[in-house]
Amino acid sequence: MRQNQEVIEKLWRCVDACEYCADSCLDENDIKMMVPCIRLDRACAEVCATTARLLSSNSPHGKHLLSECAEICRLCAEECEKHTAEHCKECARVCRECEQACSATVSL
């Protein structure tokens, strides 16, 4: 198994969940209320994708981004947990898993 494979998989799942959540938030009735969620979804997806790419290529910069990734996943989960939409609940769950995986990998 490739080094960091588990965290890389969680990072890509988080990218997918955040992209789906951001897109789904655009269809909500009160889109103004969803703006913070959409912004965090987009930022979280970007940081997770960059971290996954760097870890996949064994770049030492990937390890450096894991702390930032854990932080933005936490913030995104907290925002998504404020909403009742299923896509937000799922995104929050996936972000929490990614946050934990990133934090655990940082401490290795």
Counting other chains too, the contacts that 26-29 makes at CB distance below 8 Å and 24 or more residues apart are 28/85
Q: How many domains, in total, are found in the chain? A: 1
Q: Is the pLDDT of residue 45 over 70?
A: yes
pLDDT in tens, 4-32: 999 999 999 999 999 999 999 999 999 99
Listed in sequence order, the residues at least 6 apart from 46 whose beta carbon sits closer than 8 Å to its beta carbon are: none
CATH no. for residue 10?
A: 1.20.1270.360
Residue 15: domain span? 5-106
Q: What is the pLDDT confidence band of residue 73, given thresholds at 50, 70 and 90?
A: very high
What CA–CA distance (Å, rounded) separates 18 from 48? 10
Q: How many residues does the chain have?
A: 108
Range in 49-53, 68-72, 82-86, 103-107 the model is least confident about: 103-107
| Average per-residue pLDDT for the chain | 95
What CA–CA distance (Å, rounded) separates 65 from 54? 9
pTM of the model: 0.95
